[in-house]
Structure 1
Amino acid sequence: MQGILYGVGIGPGDPELLTLKAARIIREADVIAVPGTKKEETVAWQITVQAVPEITEKECLEIHMPMTKEKTALKESHDAAAKQVAAVLKTEKNVAFLTLGDPSVYSTYLYVHKRILAMGYRAEMVSGIPSFCAAAARMNIGLVEKAEPLHVIPASYQIEDALKLPGTKVLMKAGKKMQEVKKQLLQMENTETLMIENCGMPGEKLYRGAEEIPETAGYYSLIIVKEKE
């Protein structure tokens, strides 16, 4: 019998947004996996330990997941991560892999999930509150109404065409391209732009209007662009 891998979405940052199911799976798991080389320095651990302090007593699998777009380096790191997890599953231990937001939305966990399934092990995902839903609630606004479409866009790639789409645009992971993203947002007409940095975490900041967005905003920044009524 083999262990099961659970990709556990822990929400965007506020430990109170962990679901009851996420907390239960984490408590029941034999091993906790985090995306980083030192668990205490990973954001996922820092959030989860506030809601489920028992994880400090559990075995932890620290997995190096570099922030890079270089395909070879990514493949090598994802392959290595899957091998680390598989080695634990082989010992009949269940693993809870902590991932920010929801594991199905731009999550690093997904790369491990697919590899573990391909290797013949069981892997399941535990849904978490997506960052853009938490951000909208924090800003006290709706994301979409009636027949409005919602577009979730990785802003670290080319977004010019995506910004022309009708409806509400959610820009995630702008990162080092924030200056370019801001420039494009300032050129848009008849739209309302809002941004939240570190939603639910210490140092949370809200910005209303593209002109307020700092070009040096951190990695955990999310932008919502709505069409004016």
Structure 2
Amino acid sequence: MKGKLFGLGVGPGDPELLTVKALRLIKESDVIAVPGNDIQKSVAYQIVKGVYEELDEKNLIPIAMPMTKDKAVLEANHEKAANDIEAYLKEGKQVAFLTLGDPTVYSTYLYVHKRILSRGYEVEIVSGITSFCAVAARLNMGLVEMAEPLHVIPATYRAEEMDEILKMPGTKVLMKTGSKMQQVKESIVNSGQQAVMIENCGMPDEKIYLSAEDIPEKAGYYSLIIVKENK
């Protein structure tokens, strides 16, 4: 009998935002796939560990997820991840793959998900709280109201187009801004729009910036900016 793979969203950083369903499946699973080469340093691992002390008693396997845009390197790592997970599925094991935020939003897990699905195994995605919803809640603000549109943009990939992106109506969520922060900040300031940013939302080293001018020119990978039109 073949095993089953679950892609579990563990939320943006606060362990208390881990869903009841995700925690149940972690406890029920034979194998826990953790993104990163060093399991203990993985943010996803630390989130779950914050509410499930017995996590280390599980069979934990590291899944390398290099921070690169090199398609050949990414392809090789995604294929290896799928092969490593399939080895357990062949044994009838249930595997839970920990994923920051929600697995359906810019998640590396999806590349593994598609491969396992194409090989004939049962897979299931379990939603987690998205980073942009958590950031808005942390700041006691809404993302959109009435007929306002919401745009979610991977800023690292689209920084060169940021001036035009910021002209779009409604709320703009800029994700993965870290390496292009200076360029993105300049575009926001020049647009004259309101902006807030949280770095490491829900984590012990969380930092909040309440205006575009306050946003630093350098920030970590887990930085998210919300830009709103001036009313």
Aligned equivalents of 2:147, 2:112: Cα separation in 1:
36
Residue 207 (structure 1) aligned to one of 209, 216, 219: 209
Q: Deviations over 1:42-93 (max 9, x none)?
A: 1110111111222110001111110100111111110111001101111100
Percentage of identical aligned residues: 62
Which amino acid in structure 2 is aligned with residue 216 of structure 1? K
Q: Which residue of 2 aligns with 1:5?
A: 5
Q: Which residue of 2 aligns with 1:116?
A: 116
Report the TM-score, using the length of structure 2 for normalisation. 0.97
1:175 and 2:178 matched = yes
Query: Aligned to 1:184, which of 177, 182, 187?
Result: 187
Distance 1:75 1:164 in 2: 35
Alignment of 1:60-209 (within 5 A): 60-158=60-158, 159-160=161-162, 161-189=164-192, 191-209=193-211
Q: Which amino acid aligns with 1:200?
A: G
Q: Distance in 1 between matches of 2:25 and 2:157?
A: 34
Give the whole-Å Cα distance in 2 for the aligned partners of 1:54 and 1:111. Answer: 29
| TM-score normalized by the length of structure 1 | 0.98
Matched, 1:31 2:31: yes
Deviates more, 1:161-170 or 1:123-132: 161-170
Q: Deviations over 1:163-208 (max 9, x none)?
A: 221100000001211111111111112x210000110001111101
What secondary structure, in the 3-state scheme, does the structure 2 residue paired with 1:212 have?
coil
Unmatched runs of 5 consecutive residues or more in structure 2? none
Quick one: distance in 1 between partners of 2:205 and 2:60?
27
**Deviation at residue 162 of structure 1 after TM alignment:** 2.1
Q: How many residues align?
A: 228
Aligned residues: CA RMSD: 0.8
Distance in structure 2 (CA, Å) of the matches to 1:162 and 1:28: 44
**Counterpart residue type for residue 116 of structure 2:** I
Amino acid corresponding to residue 215 of structure 2 in structure 1: I
